[in-house]
Amino acid sequence: MKYQRLTKEQFEELHEEFATFLATQSIDAEKWKEIKDKRPSLAEEQLDLFSDMIWERVLEKVNYLENIASNYLFLFHIGKENMEAIIIHILDESKDVTTKEGFMWLKDNMLSENVQIRRGKKQFGEDRLQDIFALIRQGAEITEGILYRAIDESLVS
């Protein structure tokens, strides 16, 4: 397995796609039940293959990721060959940017000495999608990039 198996809830949400996936392998509902009952290792293999296929589809479309903790924001713009990052460290530990108040404080104090901002760029390794997936496993969430673009623009102007 290249990524990780989808959760039961994700499989339930994608049940039509999973049925289509099985159908492409000439496995209908009856045959699937038989496989699950008599050849559980083959069933596990099919679940893993489908999970990897879904993850690859999702990861191919990722343009932005965010990983936000109480005093850090890791914002990523995902390109084809590299990713760019904006890393914001709130030095005042009494502030928590995961709260509305903390986030508003950051907005008003972005350029103060209590906020450290770094930028970086990193080339992807051999497997771009694995690099993206590693960030997700570390807690990053896929976003539309609104926060990244807003901060990027504020740093340029």
pLDDT tens digit string along 20-67?
999 998 999 999 999 999 999 999 999 999 999 999 999 999 999 999
Nearest alpha-carbon partner for 136 in 78, 50, 70:
78
Q: What is the pLDDT of residue 155?
A: 78
Crossing angle between the packed helical segments 40-60 and 15-23, to the nearest 10 degrees: 110
* Mean of pLDDT over the chain: 94
Nearest alpha-carbon partner for 140 in 82, 87, 65, 58:
65
Residue at 136: amino acid letter: I
* pTM for the whole structure: 0.86
pLDDT reading at 111 higher than 90: no
pLDDT reading at 156 higher than 80: no
Average pLDDT over residues 74-79: 97
Residue at 3: amino acid letter: Y
